């Protein structure tokens, strides 16, 4: 899980998005417990209150549920919801990255070429893992 302290996106939202992405990717499965608040805060080098805020958002959205004194667990509906939200967040990020590339003076052709190169590279990496 990567957090960018220089991002315009608040850290707690980055944590929410990262947990959603982890659920969507199958890293966290239905019924599985998320890392404790303190563990997550230490891992990400952030304030525990920031992780608490992110976990509260996930719980309000029904992606996780709390078992008092035990921890937070992924809900079944949280998987489908996370997949949908992860896709829309990825597409929004991609649109923002394209706009940034254009602002930096890159042409649409060079953006397409870079995108194709990235697609090909990740396809090779995926094939080599299987």
pLDDT, tens only, 13-36? 999 989 988 888 888 899 999 999
pTM: 0.65
**Per residue in 79-114, is it b (16+ CB within 10 Å) or e — as a string?**
bebbbebbeebeeeeeeeeeeebeeeeeeeeeeeee
Query: In the chain, which stretches have pLDDT less than 70?
Result: 78-89, 125-130
Q: Are 27 and 75 in contact (CB under 8 A)?
A: no
Structural domain spans, the chain: 11-93
Choosing among 1.10.10.10, 1.10.4030.10, 1.10.1280.10, 1.10.760.10, the CATH entry for 11-93 is 1.10.10.10
């Amino acid at each position: 899980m990567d957090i960018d302290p220089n991002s315009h996106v608040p850290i707690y939202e980055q944590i929410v998005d990262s947990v959603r992405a982890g659920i969507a990717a199958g890293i966290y499965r239905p019924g599985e417990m998320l890392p404790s608040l303190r563990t997550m805060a230490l891992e990400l080098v952030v304030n525990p209150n920031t992780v608490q805020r992110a976990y509260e958002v996930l719980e309000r959205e029904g992606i996780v549920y709390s078992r008092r004194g035990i921890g937070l667990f992924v809900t079944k509906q949280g998987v489908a919801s996370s997949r949908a939200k992860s896709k829309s967040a990825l597409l929004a990020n991609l649109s923002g990255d394209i706009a940034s590339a254009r602002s930096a003076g890159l042409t649409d052709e060079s953006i397409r070429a870079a995108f194709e190169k990235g697609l090909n590279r990740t396809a090779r990496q995926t094939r080599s893992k299987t």
